[in-house]
């Protein structure tokens, strides 16, 4: 994917600057901990991880949709009201420098403009509360729950952007914003992001993993490990826009983030079996 090509797309036809869709997952991509764990602790429920693992084994729901299922069907989560979801959002520990990332994307890169969206299976209320004042509520696509007007109880689930559900939301946003499918950049951390990353890659978009999840590392075009959300811009500048390292360092410095460490590693997974040695080279990873 390079923005310099003369591909005929909707953005060129309208004569505007090249327009990118920059979409990000929320739990453990923009935050350190999982919304479900924070909510479970808040309401004093038990065994969230075990319940999630149990659901994952049955493949009853898309990976990432476990909390939505528990909110609707687990007796311990029946007490959850909208206020608990908002409080969960306030308690979630965010990764560093999200406002800086949003600011850079708003300013644009090399004359290209970006629309930033969050697509996550975490409840919409949680993400909107966590990113209040940073990301506009209408740029956040989380799980949409419906509540009883009288009791406040969760009565139904209207949408869950998990697994293939994320692809559906992404296509909806790209159509609404009139962004060509090869102008999509997606950042995620877990199994719930596999479908959307494969989809974005297939359409010549750019995908970034921010975790050590090996399955995802095989799919994502780059992996970045950092406590700063701003770090994901590094492979974008390098791979999508072709910036040299000195220019990248200057930009990071202008945002008050002098790159202390920036290590490119290449990981080999070597497995010894009965037959010949199997060697899998993973994509390059960046540790910032």
CB–CB of 33/26 below 8 Å?
no
The CB density around residue 4, as the number of other CB atoms within 10 Å, is 9
Minimum distance from residue 68 beta carbon to Mg ion (Å): 14
Task: Quote the Cα angle for 102-62-34, to 5°.
Answer: 45
Minimum distance from residue 35 beta carbon to Mg ion (Å): 9
Q: Which is nearer to Mg ion, 162 or 257 (CB)?
A: 162
The residue number whose beta carbon is nearest to Mg ion equals 27
Q: Which is nearer to Mg ion, 142 or 205 (CB)?
A: 142
Minimum distance from residue 157 beta carbon to Mg ion (Å): 18
Give me the residue label for tokens 């659901």: 55
25, 66, 97, 125: residue in contact with Mg ion (rule CB under 5 A): 25
Minimum distance from residue 230 beta carbon to Mg ion (Å): 18
H helix count then E strand count, the chain: 12, 9
Give 147's DSSP letter: E
CB–CB of 266/282 below 8 Å?
yes
Q: How many chain residues are in contact with Mg ion, going by CB under 5 A?
A: 5
Q: Which is nearer to Mg ion, 192 or 285 (CB)?
A: 192
Minimum distance from residue 50 beta carbon to Mg ion (Å): 19
**3-class DSSP state of 283:** strand
CB–CB of 54/70 below 8 Å?
no
Interface positions, 132-171, toward Mg ion (CB under 5 A): none
CB–CB of 94/24 below 8 Å?
no
Both tokens of residue 52? 């999630």
CA proximity to 39, closest of 66, 77, 93: 77
CA proximity to 221, closest of 269, 178, 188: 188
Residue 27 engages Mg ion in binding (rule: CB under 5 A): yes
Residue 63 engages Mg ion in binding (rule: CB under 5 A): no
Give me the residue label for tokens 């509360």: 129
Q: Which is nearer to Mg ion, 116 or 243 (CB)?
A: 116
Part in contact with Mg ion (CB under 5 A); list of ranges 25-33, 91-99, 124-132, 243-251: 25-33
Sign of CA dihedral 31, 35, 39, 41: negative
Q: Which is nearer to Mg ion, 173 or 257 (CB)?
A: 173
Q: Which is nearer to Mg ion, 230 or 243 (CB)?
A: 230
Q: Which is nearer to Mg ion, 165 or 190 (CB)?
A: 190
Q: Which is nearer to Mg ion, 167 or 251 (CB)?
A: 167
Both tokens of residue 85? 């979801």
Interface positions, 166-195, toward Mg ion (CB under 5 A): 189-190
Residue 213 engages Mg ion in binding (rule: CB under 5 A): no
24, 28, 63, 207: residue in contact with Mg ion (rule CB under 5 A): 28
- Which residues of the chain form contacts with Mg ion (CB under 5 A)? 25, 27-28, 189-190
């Amino acid at each position: 994917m390079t923005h310099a090509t003369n591909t005929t797309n909707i953005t060129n036809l309208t004569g505007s600057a090249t327009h990118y869709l920059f979409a990000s997952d929320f739990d453990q991509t923009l935050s350190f901990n999982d919304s479900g764990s924070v909510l479970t602790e808040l309401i004093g429920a038990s065994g969230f991880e075990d319940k999630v693992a149990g659901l994952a084994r049955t493949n009853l729901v898309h990976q990432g949709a476990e909390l939505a299922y528990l909110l609707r069907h687990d007796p311990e989560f029946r007490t959850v009201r909208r206020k608990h979801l908002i409080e969960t959002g306030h308690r979630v520990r965010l990764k560093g420098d999200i406002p800086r990332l949003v600011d850079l994307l708003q300013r644009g890169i090399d004359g290209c403009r970006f629309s930033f969206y969050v697509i996550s299976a975490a409840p919409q209320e949680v993400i909107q509360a966590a990113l209040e004042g940073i990301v506009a509520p209408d740029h956040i696509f989380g799980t949409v729950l419906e509540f009883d007007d009288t009791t406040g109880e969760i009565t139904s689930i209207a949408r869950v952007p998990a697994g293939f559900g994320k692809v559906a939301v992404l296509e909806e946003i790209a159509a609404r914003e009139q962004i060509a499918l090869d102008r999509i950049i997606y950042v995620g951390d877990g199994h719930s992001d596999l479908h959307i990353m494969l989809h974005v890659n297939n359409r010549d978009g750019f995908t970034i993993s921010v975790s050590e999840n090996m399955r995802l590392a095989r799919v994502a075009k780059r992996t970045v490990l950092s406590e700063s959300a701003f770090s994901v811009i590094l492979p974008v500048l390098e791979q999508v826009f072709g910036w040299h390292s000195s220019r990248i360092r200057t930009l990071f410095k202008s945002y008050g983030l002098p790159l202390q460490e920036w290590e490119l590693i290449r990981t080999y997974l070597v497995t010894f079996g009965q037959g010949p040695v199997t060697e899998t080279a993973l994509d390059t990873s960046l540790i910032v």
